[in-house]
Amino acid sequence: MNDPKLVLSAYQCGPGLGSVSQIGWEWYSRLARKIPVTLVTHSRNRAALEKAGSPLLGSETIYIDTEWFAGPLYRLASKLFPRSEHPVFLISSLDYYLYDWVALRTLRRLGKNGSKWNIVHQPTPVSPLAASRLHKLNLPLILGPWNGGLRSPSEYPEIMRAESAWVYPIRKLGRWLDWLIGSSKHARLLLTATAATQNEIPAEFAHKCVHMLENGVDLDLFAPTDWPSPPTSENPLEIVYVGRLLPFKGVTLLLEAVSKLSIPYHLTVVGSGSEEVPLQTQAKTLNLQDKVLFTGALPLASVAKYMASAHVFCLPSVRESGGAVLLEAMAAARPVIALAYGGPAEIVDDEIGRLIPSAGREQVVHAIAETLMDVVANPELWRQRGLAGRQRVEQRYAWSVKIDNAIALYHQCLEQS
């Protein structure tokens, strides 16, 4: 059996550079411990990667520099959409196609000079927009895990307007580019994270799809700890939210919900973003200054500490494709609350927490408040849900499990070559 000699193309890759870059880093750092890896990534990631020790032992790193195009494009998108992260991502991601073209030329040149690989995997970008030319290396190509294709919910018009959701149809450009470049046609496998993503794949390529969540969790960093003492009239219910502070994340709904609680509680909001000041203003308007803490963005180690101090984690996002923070909360043995839409609907159930029907602002606010009251009324049931969540991530969502599954897919592809 041939051993994998991998080209890992990760446009976004590096610890501390954001959630998708963290995904790229997890793939690279964990695969490099097991098989020979040549990492191809954007030059903007260089400082973070070298600080983390790249190139790692037994690997090499190739940097692709298109910053002369990417920098001005990102600055323009940020000016056009100051409150909306997703439109900025959609526009600035056009640089990826230049990166991919330069990466192909670079790898072809290195191949002619004697470099040897037998399989290619591109885990980032995680969007199906990421059509790639790397199949032209004439090696088995694996794309993904991809996560995309989620429709914008109609129940929250004011939130989606703030998100500039009218820009989202630009994603259809990815289908045309995929057809033009031939990514899905020539890829050996397409890793798809959600049902929405699977539904976006043309039917003729459905047989290439393998389900794999794009996110994973570090079981050592997010270790299980004892549940805090049950909430009582003397011991406040500790609630935590972690994530970007953007309109679609729905933190405004969570603030409204906790304002309706008639029990002692404390909410910690971890993260930063365009909505940070408006949310702080809302908290003051609702007279929640003494009950809500805004920490700003924090490193993962600090996030883990806040998870450990909480009774329950709440993700009120109205349009969440993935849900990495849900996995982190589950790994910390904390029960989770989320809306039944998108990625969370495929992760959360009554065994590990509670899914809130995504039926509109008023209904969601009421349901979150009722659910938080239930945590106080039935503490042992919710503690058990936290333990069940830890067990589930150990079995399905740990990075160690994901990497072993990926290497098995590499061997499968090489056997079929």
pLDDT digits (tens, 9 = 90+) for 350-389: 999 999 999 899 999 999 999 999 999 999 999 999 999 9
Tell me what pLDDT residue 88 has: 59
Mean pLDDT value across residues 309-332: 94
The answer, yes or no, to whether residue 199 has pLDDT greater than 70, is: yes
Mean pLDDT value across residues 129-143: 92
CA distance 252 to 159: 10
Poorest-confidence range of 169-173, 328-332, 377-381?
A: 169-173
The answer, yes or no, to whether residue 91 has pLDDT greater than 70, is: no
Dihedral (CA of 117, 121, 122, 123) sign: negative
Q: Residues with Cβ < 8 Å from 103, sequence gap 6 or more?
A: 9, 40, 62, 64, 134
CA distance 383 to 280: 30
Mean pLDDT value across residues 87-108: 83
Q: What percent of the chain has pLDDT over 70?
A: 92
Tell me what pLDDT residue 86 has: 61
- Which conformational region is residue 287 in: left (phi greater than 0), alpha (psi within -120 to 50 degrees), or beta? left
Bond before 125 cis per omega within 30 degrees: yes
The answer, yes or no, to whether residue 14 has pLDDT greater than 90, is: yes
Tell me what pLDDT residue 417 has: 75
Poorest-confidence range of 158-172, 175-189, 326-340?
A: 158-172
Tell me what pLDDT residue 161 has: 66
Domains along the chain with CATH numbers: 6-216+398-416 (3.40.50.2000), 237-396 (3.40.50.2000)
CA distance 392 to 263: 31
Poorest-confidence range of 88-92, 106-110, 221-225, 356-360?
A: 88-92
CA distance 326 to 358: 17
CA distance 151 to 196: 8
Q: 200: pLDDT confidence band, cut at 50, 70 and 90?
A: confident
What is the value of pTM for the model shown?
Answer: 0.88
Phi, psi values for residue 323, rounded to 5°: 140, 45
Burial class (CB in 10 A: 0-12, 13-18, 19+), 12: buried
Q: 173: pLDDT confidence band, cut at 50, 70 and 90?
A: low
Tell me what pLDDT residue 74 has: 72
Q: 23: pLDDT confidence band, cut at 50, 70 and 90?
A: very high
CA distance 413 to 411: 5
**151, 355 in Cβ contact below 8 A?**
no
Residue 11's nearest CA partner among 173, 117, 127, 178 is 127
Burial class (CB in 10 A: 0-12, 13-18, 19+), 402: buried
Tell me what pLDDT residue 181 has: 85
**160, 153 in Cβ contact below 8 A?**
yes
* The dihedral formed by the CA atoms of 301, 303, 308 and 310, expressed in degrees to the nearest 10: 170
Q: 249: pLDDT confidence band, cut at 50, 70 and 90?
A: very high
Beta bridge partners of 141: 120
Tell me what pLDDT residue 95 has: 83
Residue 119's nearest CA partner among 134, 105, 99, 98 is 134
b/e code 256-273 from CB counts within 10 Å (16+ = b): bbbbebeeebbbbbbbbb
Query: Within a 10 A sphere around the Cβ of 410, how many other Cβ atoms?
Result: 23
The answer, yes or no, to whether residue 80 has pLDDT greater than 80, is: no
The answer, yes or no, to whether residue 178 has pLDDT greater than 90, is: no
The answer, yes or no, to whether residue 104 has pLDDT greater than 60, is: yes
Beta bridge partners of 60: 38
Tell me what pLDDT residue 233 has: 80
The answer, yes or no, to whether residue 326 has pLDDT greater than 60, is: yes
Burial class (CB in 10 A: 0-12, 13-18, 19+), 194: buried
Which position has the token pair 């909410």?
267
The answer, yes or no, to whether residue 153 has pLDDT greater than 90, is: no
Q: 226: pLDDT confidence band, cut at 50, 70 and 90?
A: very high
Mean pLDDT value across residues 181-203: 90
Tell me what pLDDT residue 348 has: 96
Mean pLDDT value across the chain: 90
The answer, yes or no, to whether residue 10 has pLDDT greater than 80, is: yes
Tell me what pLDDT residue 356 has: 96
- What is the maximum span of the chain, computed from C-alpha positions, in angstroms? 72
Burial class (CB in 10 A: 0-12, 13-18, 19+), 277: exposed
Which position has the token pair 């994998």?
4
